[in-house]
Structure 1
Amino acid sequence: MISSTETIPGTEKRAKIKEQYKKFIGRKITFILFCLVLIFIIAGVAATIGSYPITVAEVYSIIWQGLFQNPEATKEVVVWNLRLPRILMGILAGAGLAIAGTVMQGIVRNPLASPYTLGISSGAGFGAVIAIIYSASLVPWLSTKYLVIVNAFAFSLIPVFVIMALSRFRRATPEMMILAGIAMSYIFSGYIHLIYYFADPEAMKEAYFWTIGGLSRASWENITPMAVMLACCIPLLMWKSWDVNVMGAGDETAKSLGVNVERARLVIMILASFITASIISFTGCIGFVGLVAPHICRIVIGGDNRFLIPASGLFGAAFLLCMSTLGRTIMAPIIIPEGVMMACIGGPFFFFLLIKRRRKEFW
Structure 2
Amino acid sequence: MAENQMVQMEKYTRFVRRKKLVFLIAAAATLVIALFSIGVGSIQIPVKEIIGTIFGRGELQSQTVIMGIRLPRVTAAILVGAILATSGAVMQCVLRNPLASASTLGVSQGAAFGAALGIIVFGGGVVNSASAASAVTIDNPYIVTLCAFVFGALSTVVIIAISQLKKDIGPAGLVLAGVALSSLFSGGSTLLQYFADEQKIGAVVFWTFGNLGGANWTELLILLLVFVCSMIYFMLNRWNYNAMESGADTAKSLGVNTRVVMVVSMAICSLAASVAVSFVGIISFVGLVAPHIMRRFVGNDFRYLVPCSAVAGALLLILADTFGKWIIAPVILPIGAITSFLGAPMFLFLLFKGVKTNG
TM-score of the superposition, structure 1-length normalised? 0.87
CA distance 1:253–1:149, shift in 2 (3 Å):
farther
- Alpha-carbon distance in structure 2 between the residues aligned to 1:361 and 1:53: 43
Gaps of 5+ in 1: 1-9, 137-143
The correspondence of residues 157-196 of structure 1 with structure 2, limited to 5 A, is: 157-164=153-160, 167=163, 169=166, 171-196=168-193
8 Å CA contact retained: 1:153, 1:273? no
Which one of the candidate residues 13, 18, 29 is aligned to 2:9? 18
**Separation of aligned partners in 2, 1:276 and 1:111:** 17
Which of 220, 225, 237 is equivalent to 2:222?
A: 225
Deviation, 1:313, is 0.4
Partner residue in 2 for 1:255: 252
Who is 2:203 aligned against? 206
Correspondence for 1:141: none
Change (3 A) 1:153 1:51: closer
Q: Does 1:42 align with 2:33?
A: yes
What's the counterpart of residue 110 of structure 1? 97
Segments of structure 2 that go 5 or more residues without pairing to the other structure are 124-139
Q: Secondary structure at the match of 2:55?
A: helix
Could you say which residue in structure 1 is the equivalent of 2:127?
none
Residue of structure 2 in register with 1:4 after alignment: none
Give the drift of 1:172. 3.3
Question: CA shift at 1:290, angstroms?
Answer: 0.2
Give yes or no for contact 1:126–1:192 (8 Å, CA) kept in 2. yes
Counterpart residue identity of residue 135, structure 1: F
Q: Distance in 2 between matches of 1:164 and 1:220?
A: 32
The alignment status of 1:152 with 2:148, answered yes or no, reads yes
Q: Which moved more, 1:79-88 or 1:176-185?
A: 176-185
Contact 1:118 1:178 in 2 (8 A): yes
Give me the whole-angstrom Cα distance separating, in 1, the residues matched to 2:236 and 2:206. Answer: 35
Residue 145 (structure 1) shift: 7.3
SS in 2 for 1:47: helix
Partner of 1:283: 280
How far, CA to CA, are the matches of 2:302 and 2:119 in structure 1?
Answer: 37
Query: Quick check: 2:153–2:274 contact (8 Å CA) kept in 1?
Result: no
Q: Structure 1 residues 96 and 256, CA, compared in 2 at 3 Å: closer, same or farther?
A: same
3-state SS in 2 of match to 1:51: coil
Structure 1 counterpart of 2:336: 339
Q: Letter of the 1:54 partner, please give it.
A: I
Task: Compute the displacement of 1:221 (Å).
Answer: 3.2
Asked if structure 1 preserves the Cα contact closer than 8 Å seen for 2:109 and 2:182, the reply is yes
Q: Which residue of 1 aligns with 2:121?
A: 134
Paired with 2:357 and 2:157, the residues of 1 have a C-alpha distance of 27
Which letter maps to 1:299? R
Say which SS state the counterpart of residue 334 (structure 1) adopts: coil
2: distance between equivalents of 1:347 and 1:180? 23
Please report how far the alpha carbon of residue 148 of structure 1 lies from its aligned counterpart in structure 2 after TM superposition.
Answer: 4.2
Task: Provide the aligned C-alpha RMSD in A.
Answer: 2.2
Aligned equivalent of 1:264, options 250, 261, 276: 261
CA contact (8 A) 1:237 1:271 kept: no
Deviation (angstroms), 1:181: 2.0
Task: Write the distance in 1 (CA, Å) between the matches of 2:83 and 2:179.
Answer: 21
Q: CA deviation at 1:107?
A: 0.3
Deviation at 1:349, TM superposition (A): 1.3
User: How many residues are matched?
Assistant: 342
Paired with 1:255 and 1:279, the residues of 2 have a C-alpha distance of: 33
- The verdict on how the C-alpha distance between 1:147 and 1:256 changes in structure 2, with shifts beyond 3 A counting, is farther
Q: TM-score, normalised by structure 2?
A: 0.88
- Whole-angstrom distance in 1 between the partners of 2:117 and 2:179: 21
Q: Bigger CA drift: 262-271 or 248-257?
A: 248-257
Letter in 1 for 2:25: F
Residues 303-361 of structure 1, C-alpha deviations (whole Å, 9 max, x = no match): 01111111000011011000000001111111111100011111111111211226x54
Q: Secondary structure at the match of 1:210?
A: helix
* Distance in 2, Cα, partners of 1:59 & 1:39: 16
* Structure 2 residue corresponding to 1:121, chosen from 95, 102, 108: 108
Is the alpha carbon distance of 1:210 and 1:362 closer, same or farther for their aligned partners in structure 2, counting shifts above 3 Å?
Answer: farther
Distance 2:83 2:196 in 1: 31
Aligned-pair distance for 1:64?
Answer: 2.2
If you compute each CA radius of gyration, which structure gives the higher value, 1 or 2? 1
Whether the 8 Å CA contact 1:298–1:308 is kept in 2: the answer is yes
**Which residue is 1:313 aligned to?**
310
